[in-house]
Chain A
Amino acid sequence: DQQVKQNSPSLSVQEGRISILNCDYTNSMFDYFLWYKKYPAEGPTFLISISSIKDKNEDGRFTVFLNKSAKHLSLHIVPSQPGDSAVYFCAASVGGGSYIPTFGRGTSLIVHP
């Protein structure tokens, strides 16, 4: 039973356009959400996070939106750059303990020059 779902295995975007990566979750106890970026043959790198008390968090070209009622979050990258081409993992955790995140299967983003 997947508690964190990334239903699009891949996404292709033109350089300069917006990339939108989506993530759905089923566990209403999740209260902290993270996005990681992973290049081939490397470990995941933390990108951005959001706690459930917010609905938006922005860091440069990256913005994460959280819709708690829909149990949905999205990562917006604008403008997209070829160097953003990677696999993006959505993760969610429950606070109050060790905060071990549950990961989605990832979305492979390809940004074309």
Chain B
Amino acid sequence: NAGVMQNPRHLVRRRGQEARLRCSPMKGHSHVYWYRQLPEEGLKFMVYLQKENIIDESGMPKERFSAEFPKEGPSILRIQQVVRGDSAAYFCASSLNRPGDYYEQYFGPGTRLTVT
């Protein structure tokens, strides 16, 4: 059973370009979460999605960032017009939510974005 897949693992973009980060959840998981980790920081929640729905985007910057989880295919985190401050590790996690159950999230290996 494959784990959470993220690609690319490393992404270099120049300032002003667009970055697209992809995440395929574990088989059977329909809940996806995106986190960002800045150097020397913990993981900061960005957005929580289910298939075709954004459930909670309270951690997403108001501009330039967007996320989707289409009916078919991976979840995409899109950063437009990247700036140096966007350089970070972006982690995706997925979970199997059963009503009334606590659960754990399973994380992918992350995408390290470097903006030059």
Instruction: Give chain A's interface residues, CB within 8 Å of chain B.
Output: 4, 6, 32, 34, 36, 41-46, 49, 51, 89, 95, 98-106
| Residue of B with least CB distance to A95 | B102
Q: How far is it, in angstroms, between the C-alpha of A34 and the C-alpha of B104 when the chains are bound?
A: 8
A contact patch SS = loop
B41 at the interface (CB under 8 A from A): yes
Q: Map CB proximity to A onto B82-102 as digits: 1 under 8 Å, 0 otherwise.
A: 000000000101000100001
**Partner of A32 from B45, B91, B102, B107 at Cβ < 8 Å:** B102
Q: Which residues of B sit under 8 angstroms from A46, Cβ to Cβ? A: 104-106
* Given A43-B4, A43-B91; A98-B56 close (CB under 8 Å): yes
| Residue of B with least CB distance to A44 | B107
Interface positions, chain B 37-74, Cβ under 8 Å from A, are 40-45, 48, 55-56
Q: How far is it, in angstroms, between the C-alpha of A89 and the C-alpha of B97 when the chains are bound?
A: 22
Q: Which residues of A sit under 8 angstroms from B105, Cβ to Cβ? A: 46, 101
**25 residue pairs A–B, Cβ–Cβ below 8 Å:** A4-B42, A6-B42, A36-B107, A42-B109, A43-B93, A43-B109, A44-B43, A46-B104, A46-B105, A46-B106, A49-B102, A49-B104, A89-B42, A95-B102, A98-B48, A98-B55, A98-B56, A98-B97, A101-B45, A102-B45, A103-B44, A105-B40, A105-B41, A105-B42, A106-B42
Our count of residue pairs bridging A and B at CB distance below 8 angstroms stands at 54
B25 at the interface (CB under 8 A from A): no
Q: Which residues of A sit under 8 angstroms from B40, Cβ to Cβ? A: 105
Contact (Cβ within 8 A) A100 B45: yes
Q: Which of B104, B107, B109, B110 has the most CB of A within 10 A?
A: B104
Contact (Cβ within 8 A) A103 B42: yes
Contact (Cβ within 8 A) A100 B91: no
The 5 closest A-B pairs by CB, nearest first: A43-B107, A103-B42, A46-B104, A105-B42, A103-B43
Q: What is the CB-to-nearest-CB distance from A86 to chain B, in angstroms, rounded to a whole number?
A: 13
Q: Which of A6, A32, A36, A44 has the most CB of B within 10 A?
A: A44
| Residue of A with least CB distance to B47 | A100
Q: What is the CB-to-nearest-CB distance from B108 to chain A, in angstroms, rounded to a whole number?
A: 5
